[in-house]
């Protein structure tokens, strides 16, 4: 095996093993200890964060910030990565600000001339208008990591009215209308709750509480599971062709858009009682393009909303 190939494979191997000894690698790669020592020194110089301890139970360790073997991207791929990094960061706070900068730097070092200009110009030529105010969400990364590793965490949560401390186990994170939310199992209320991530002021891993098994629940299926014991309504809303167009840009997992051949359509599905207010306001904003047929409770609530509007505009 050539040296270059051996080094690449060595990066992957040490990343996988985390701890290893020189003799061990010498055995695996069928080269001498001396060669492995020289290779490890080269990896260090390349940026692999290695650390060694002598003595029994000593050996090498790879620290955090492990690096991958070098990858050659095409210019189009580089442009795609820049595009999505730039675009998504415009759209919403993402938990990777430091990484964005370092990725940018690495690419810039390897780009010359026209492609560099292309990428520079892209910044002025792509925009995301529905952007929320760019407030940094400090604990988003920790929440995502807790969701991935299924850790229990202790958070301090500040809702509009009160502060509280809770132990939760995140299911995932999702973005909606420019905000990040974190649906989780809450050990305090012993039920599932959705937390708005910018209101989570402190996150600490809590290894005293045993995580519950959420492996079957993730973001795609949580609605059907979590709504099981709640009071729900069946909904039916007729949409004009324009209404259909508009509804297409919304997608709630619980509401389904059914199109007809003539362009009109209707919304069906179920929603929980506590969302009645939201649904009333939502379909009211469609004006003539939406007509609620079911449920009666939603129609009633909508009428009340119109009455409130009436008063405000003194007709």
Q: Which of residues 12-71 bind a copy of itself (CB under 8 A)?
A: 12, 15-16, 46-47, 65-71
**What x/- string results for residues 229 through 268 when contact with a copy of itself is judged by CB under 8 A?**
-------------------xxxxx----------------
Q: Which is nearer to DNA, 57 or 216 (CB)?
A: 57
Using the rule CB under 8 A, is 78 a contact of a copy of itself? yes
Work out whether the CA dihedral 150, 154, 155, 161 comes out positive or negative: positive
Structure tokens at 31: 């080269």
Measured CA to CA, the distance from residue 36 to residue 49 in angstroms comes to 16
Task: Name 214's Cβ contacts closer than 8 Å, sequence gap at least 6.
Answer: 150, 169, 171, 185
> Restricting to residues 21-40, which ones interact with DNA according to CB under 7 A?
21-23, 30-35, 37-40
Using the rule CB under 8 A, is 216 a contact of a copy of itself? no
Min. distance of Cβ 115 from DNA in angstroms?
A: 23
Q: Which of 59, 132, 58 is nearest to 91 (CA)?
A: 132
Q: Which is nearer to DNA, 42 or 127 (CB)?
A: 42
Which of a copy of itself, DNA, none lies near 27, with the C-beta cut-off 5 to 8 A by kind? none
Min. distance of Cβ 212 from a copy of itself in angstroms?
A: 16
Task: Give the distance from CA 201 to its chain's centroid.
Answer: 18
Burial class (CB in 10 A: 0-12, 13-18, 19+), 101: exposed
Using the rule CB under 7 A, is 58 a contact of DNA? yes
Which of DNA, a copy of itself, none lies near 159, with the C-beta cut-off 5 to 8 A by kind? none
Report phi then psi at 18, rounded to 5: 70, -45
> Restricting to residues 186-215, which ones interact with a copy of itself according to CB under 8 A?
none
Q: Which of 122, 136, 133, 130 is nearest to 82 (CA)?
A: 122
The residues of the shown chain that bind DNA, judged by CB under 7 A, are 2-3, 6, 21-23, 30-35, 37-41, 52-60
């Amino acid at each position: 095996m050539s040296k270059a190939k051996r080094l690449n494979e060595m990066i992957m191997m040490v990343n996988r093993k985390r701890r290893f000894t020189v003799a061990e690698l010498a055995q695996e790669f069928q080269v001498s200890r001396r060669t492995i020592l020289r290779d490890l020194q080269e990896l260090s110089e390349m940026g692999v964060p290695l650390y060694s301890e002598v003595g029994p139970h000593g050996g090498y360790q790879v620290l955090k910030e492990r690096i991958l073997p070098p990858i050659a991207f095409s210019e189009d791929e580089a442009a795609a990565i820049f595009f999505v990094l730039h675009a998504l960061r415009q759209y919403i706070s993402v938990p990777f600000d430091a990484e964005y900068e370092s990725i940018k730097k690495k690419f810039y070092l390897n780009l010359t001339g026209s492609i560099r200009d292309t990428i520079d110009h892209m910044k002025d030529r792509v925009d995301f208008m529905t952007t929320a105010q760019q407030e940094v969400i400090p604990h988003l990364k920790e929440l995502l990591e807790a969701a991935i590793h299924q850790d229990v965490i202790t958070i301090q949560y500040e809702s509009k009215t009160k502060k509280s401390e809770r132990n939760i186990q995140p299911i995932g994170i999702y973005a909606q209308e420019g905000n990040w939310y974190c649906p989780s199992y809450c050990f305090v209320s012993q039920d599932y709750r959705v937390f708005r991530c910018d209101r989570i002021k402190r996150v600490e891993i809590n290894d005293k509480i045993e995580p519950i098994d959420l492996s079957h629940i993730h973001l795609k299926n949580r609605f059907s599971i979590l709504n099981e014991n709640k009071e729900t309504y069946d909904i039916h809303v007729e949409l004009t062709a324009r209404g259909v167009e508009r509804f297409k840009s919304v997608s709630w997992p619980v509401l389904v858009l059914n199109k007809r051949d003539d362009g009109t359509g209707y919304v069906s599905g179920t929603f929980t009682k506590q969302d009645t207010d939201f649904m009333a306001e939502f379909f009211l904003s469609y004006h003539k393009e939406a007509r609620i047929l079911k449920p009666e409770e939603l129609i009633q609530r909508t009428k009340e909303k119109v009455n409130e509007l009436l008063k405000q505009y003194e007709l």
